[in-house]
Structure 1
Amino acid sequence: MEQVGEVEQALTTLMDLCGDDPAREGLQETPYRFVKAFLEYTQGYREDPKHHLDKVFDVPHQELVLVKDIEFYSMCEHHFAPFFGVAQVGYIPNEKVTGLSKIARMVEGYARRFQVQERLTTQIAEALESELAPLGTMVVIEAKHLCMCSRGVKKASTKTVTSSVHGVFAKEASSRAEFLTLIKD
């Protein structure tokens, strides 16, 4: 693929610009490894993550379903620096439930794209809404952004928390409080 060769050449130029010798032993295969890694980091573009939720079951359950601490890794679209953390994903079914692992796969699919945390949070909630039509959906993501921790303001212990709240979670404080209580460690 011609694009791979172009990217590898650009990375060789970048290594030289940074002050290292792209021909030295440790760096000779780095451009290829970099391209391979980025294709893995962005594998979410090669799927529609909400389709993981297609498998549903008719289960008479109208109480909270919460999948906690779903680890994810993503790439900041502004700096191509990693950000990573956990997603807390909950919904109150309305006739349909999905497999618990499907929720984690869906999170992974959206995370494996160039992202901002705010969009990632919204995409997860909107996928649940569109595929399951639940009574309510709530997503909370907590993440560390290397673009903020290791460069720029260099605040290494900083975490960012985002949420997306729909349906009964938006209307009923008690439902929202139950979710928030359950996600606390």
Structure 2
Amino acid sequence: MSPFFKKAIGANNISAEKATEAVRTLLLYIGENPNREGLVDTPDRFCRALLEMTEGYSTNPEEILSTTFESESDEMVLVKNIEFNSLCEHHLLSFAGKAHIAYIPTDGKIVGLSKLARIVDVFSQRLQVQERLTQQVANAINKYLRPQGVAVVFEGVHSCMCVRGVRKQNSTMITSAMHGQFRDSLASRNEFMSLISK
């Protein structure tokens, strides 16, 4: 028996057995045979992969951003090209790309750079739309770090745009969220946009 079946009852009291049976039903729905060699373990694998891709639901962003360090810096801190993968809540298809995050510390309060990447993971590893994902990352940093300003830009390529519907392979979605000085100061916003475009 797969280790997946040994997990406790999941969210909403749905057992692993019920989840995998639902996937078997979907395989039947498209005309496949879930008992053939290549598919016999697919329901189990799919459910385990789905749990892994949605781990963000079980992580509290406050725990990630609660540990800060003192610094004399009052200039922009920028981490760009943070890779992310998420699932579109409309079709359960993936979208992926890069996130760019900047903040201006208040009273020299900074956070480890890996924490910014982890905040991206927390919110991207949920069923999402990119617009909300961008806002959630910016809002969390703004809430828990209380910086002078936060700027977040996400660039994503969406499978639901590429492999179905209009099937446009080279389209990229760009979303942004600005707080504080990045919203109020054109100079700060332009500096951020200039740095992430290099």
Post-superposition CA distance 1:35-60 (Å, at most 9, x none): 00000000000111242111101111
2:87 to 69, 75, 81: 75
- 1:183 corresponding residue in structure 2: 196
1:91 counterpart letter in structure 2: Y
Higher alpha-carbon deviation: 23-32 or 53-62: 53-62
Q: Which runs of 5+ in 1 are unaligned?
A: none
Please state how far the C-alpha of 1:126 moved relative to its aligned partner.
0.7
The superposition leaves residues 102-148 of structure 1 with CA deviations (integer Å, 9 ceiling, x where unpaired) of 11011111110011111110111111111111111000000011011
> Within 5 A, what are the aligned runs for 1:153-164?
153-164=166-177
Whether the aligned pair in 2 keeps the contact of 1:43 and 1:109 (CA below 8 Å) is yes
In percent, how many aligned pairs have the same letter? 46
Aligned to 1:117: 130
Structure 2 distance, partners of 1:109, 1:51, is 11
Does 2:105 match 1:105? no
Please tell me whether residue 66 in structure 1 is matched to residue 74 in structure 2: no
Gaps of 5+ in 2: 1-8
User: How far 1:182 moved relative to its partner?
Assistant: 0.5
Counterpart pick for 1:93 among 105, 108, 114: 105
The answer (yes or no) to whether the contact 1:58–1:97 under 8 Å persists in 2 is yes
After superposing on structure 2, the runs of 4+ consecutive aligned residues of structure 1 that deviate more than 3 Å are: none
Cα offset, 1:177, TM superposition: 0.6
Q: Which residue of 1 aligns with 2:158?
A: 145
**Structure 2 equivalent of residue 19 of structure 1:** 31
Partners of 1:124 and 1:146 in 2: how far apart? 22
TM (norm. structure 1) is: 0.97
Instruction: Look up the SS of the partner of 2:15 in the other structure.
Output: helix
Q: 1 or 2 for the larger relative contact order (CA 8 Å, sep ≥6)?
A: 1
Q: Confirm whether residue 37 of structure 1 aligns to residue 49 of structure 2.
A: yes
Q: Name the amino acid aligned to 2:157.
A: K
